[in-house]
Structure 1
């Protein structure tokens, strides 16, 4: 177990690894949780019910993006304050972040509950699927605040030197979610309501595990009565913006991909992309885990003004991202058919289309990790414009033109190249920026 005080003296590689594996496993389990609901509903209730649950799933993205936005913004400032030795301000920032997120989420959930039917139809519900959407979404929204609290606490606990407990909370949630899904759907026959209850109950228990951190002697997570500062609130939202962009842009990218595949390759193309995207969603969370591990360490060292260790941390992060990216690309290039065979219900033509597409698509992972590390690094040292620029480049500014132009110029199969082209050009621009400013990293740290 890492204490905050040991961060300054511990060798950096083992220190980074002590944060990396819990962060990657925790992020991976968060993505698997959503898949588990779909698997149990499809087998235990039916395809129409699955469609209803899938329509409601974006609510998870909305809630997650808010907790990431405020959580990462607040936790970055929290770690910087600890690095500066200002524990009083750290307590204030934790209290401000927690209560701000609670206010935003409760307000949003109240609005959604009072407009449940309209929201469901906006998300794509029909008269056939709405009953399932209603049953599932009603429970999820009633307990949604616990989902966001769990995510925010896991971020702050990681920043407070206890990454293993942050991971254990998410492991508890995932295991219980599987067991309760089976109990409520297959044994008790509660249908999609049972699926939602499984998610809610497992989240509350996982959150309770995280609360054990408050009883730890070394914990600096404390609620204080005098906490509000308008300037701090603005900085929380500003610093957390890149994390929000990552989550929010995912939904936009999926919609644009679906529309493009439908236009050029029809329904089979959309299905092939869906198969690839299931794997991509899981892999993306693993790459996000590198940034999650880097953030508390970088923020603390930035606050403590330990510049040499900061530079080493950045190099370790880039090396880790490059190794993971190359490994993922090699596996996807050598075994695309085996990976797509995981989706047994698809036709051979769709599976071949998905396998061929993923072999090209996966080249983007070489660059994805590097882009994420630089964005997280700049976010962690409060260089928000740089971090936000990287996130917008890869997800909107370069992605949309590439998605429009590549299939027009090179044919329908070039749609698969959108991801590697956008990520590759983003990585190139980062490289050119640093090459143009040879002392960019040190000058950024000292500015």
Structure 2
């Protein structure tokens, strides 16, 4: 199945077969995120919206560990399948899944012990801190069952089950919206019930994803694990760029929220959360499309089909640029409509600042697609070091430097400019690394 799908199917046809289901599933996930923001912002209130924006980066730090293991293991699994070593691929899959369960269980215990104190230390506004903790507590209790969802979704696509992955995401998203409508829209319950909607729907998604692996209906299956320290270290190392990207993004978000609270208070945090919700529609589309092709990259790398990898890169770049340019046009054309989705008419200050934030950050979409593409392809080609460099520059170094420099120059508006200014610099660095690490090394193979 994998040989026919990943190794023989024409690149354009394979890209469509992998990317379209991923785009649809990410679209539904994004719609659920937007609907969640609308229910919270319009019904519970702008403080609840700000609270979620403050605490969600902390939750994402925990999810980042699962993403690291999934990304690192998926590359190795794809290469082993390309090399026709199915037994070893199954062992890596099993070990990676067990490792995720153990780590997430440990995180759950530690979070139950220390999360409340950490949140109240980080968030000085007691009302915001209380709302944030109530939201986070529900996620903490469900960590062992919801965190594996992202990895299992990735493994389904690795097995050529992109359509099943798509339908799982659709079910999770639609169920989440329905629960939001009932618990928040109809019963007018609090912020913890917004979290409960997400947790219940994600738990069902995990169960659905597990079924084909347990019943041995896909190429990968659970087997008696043989744990090799070297293999575990490889999984962690190769997935470290994904982990650092996620965790650094969360840390930068926490720092950004601190600057926003300093320069403009809860209004600034709520305004920037609108930008984040709009971005939650676009970035997952780009990430889903780019990430969907990674199993084919790893498989063809293991099978030494280097020319196909080059073709995949070109197709991905064209698609990424198209999505991004359309996004930027929509933002510049309909800023009032987009801001109005997440705020009530009485929140005049939030609407005004949210519109400015949206317009200043919009140009970043011209550049981010390329950096995401390069990072994903480098990971798929086992170029973890280069991928980490791209990630560190884009997600850590530039945001930290720019947020300090730009806020000194233009105040709070400098925070909104960071994605656009950083995008210009990071895309240049990503291009140089791509040329150096891939084109030069494989110049005799393409």
TM-score by length of 2: 0.88
Q: Secondary structure at the match of 2:221?
A: coil
Contact 1:295 1:376 in 2 (8 A): yes
**Partner residue in 2 for 1:424:** 424
Q: Could you report, residue by residue, the CA deviation over 1:137-187 in whole angstroms, capped at 9, with x for unpaired residues?
A: 444322221111221110111111111111211211111222233344566
Contact 1:364 1:423 survives alignment (8 Å) = yes
1:83 maps onto 2:82 in alignment: yes
Distance 1:239 1:437, change over 3 A: closer
Contact 2:33 2:280 in 1 (8 A): no
CA distance in 1, matches of 2:127, 2:263: 29
Q: What residue in structure 2 maps to residue 320 of structure 1?
A: 319
Q: Specify the alignment match of 1:395 in structure 2.
A: 395
- Give the distance between the partners of 1:70 and 1:238, measured in 2 at CA: 9
How far does residue 132 in structure 1 lie from its aligned partner after superposition?
Answer: 5.6
For 1:143, what is the secondary structure of its paired residue?
A: helix
Deviates more, 1:286-295 or 1:356-365: 356-365
- Native 8 Å contact 1:311 1:441 kept in 2: no
Within 5 Å, which residues of 2 pair with 1:22-37?
Answer: 22-34=21-33, 36-37=35-36
- What is the aligned partner in structure 2 of residue 152 from structure 1? 151
After TM superposition, list the pairs within 5 Å mapping 1:223-238 onto structure 2.
223-238=222-237
Cα separation, 2, equivalents of 1:180 and 1:402: 40
**Structure 1 segments unaligned to the other structure (5+ residues):** none
Asked if structure 2 preserves the Cα contact closer than 8 Å seen for 1:79 and 1:160, the reply is no
Following the alignment from structure 1 to structure 2, what is the Cα–Cα distance between the partners of residues 318 and 411?
Answer: 35
Give the SS at the match of 1:345: coil
Q: Corresponding residue for 2:164? A: 165
> Which residue pairs with 2:359 in the alignment?
359
Greater mean deviation of Cα atoms: 237-246 or 122-131: 122-131
Distance 1:85 1:393 in 2: 36
Q: In terms of mean alpha carbon deviation, does 352-361 or 119-128 score higher?
A: 119-128
Once residues 349 and 240 of structure 2 are traced to their aligned partners in structure 1, the CA distance between those partners, rounded to angstroms, is: 41
Distance change (3 Å), C-alpha of 1:417 and 1:204: closer
Q: RMSD between aligned alpha carbons?
A: 3.1
In the alignment, structure 1 residue 309 sits paired with structure 2 residue 302: no
How many residue pairs get matched?
445
CA contact (8 A) 2:386 2:433 kept: no
1:398 deviation in Å? 2.0
Structure 1 stretch 402-411 or stretch 184-193: which is displaced more? 184-193
Matches for 1:45-194 after TM superposition, within 5 Å:
56-124=55-123, 128=127, 136-185=135-184, 191-192=190-191, 194=193
Q: Is the CA contact 1:165–1:213 (under 8 Å) kept in the aligned structure 2?
A: no
Separation in structure 2 between the aligned mates of residue 149 and residue 397 of structure 1, nearest angstrom: 30
**Deviation at 1:431?**
2.9
TM-score normalized with structure 1 length: 0.88
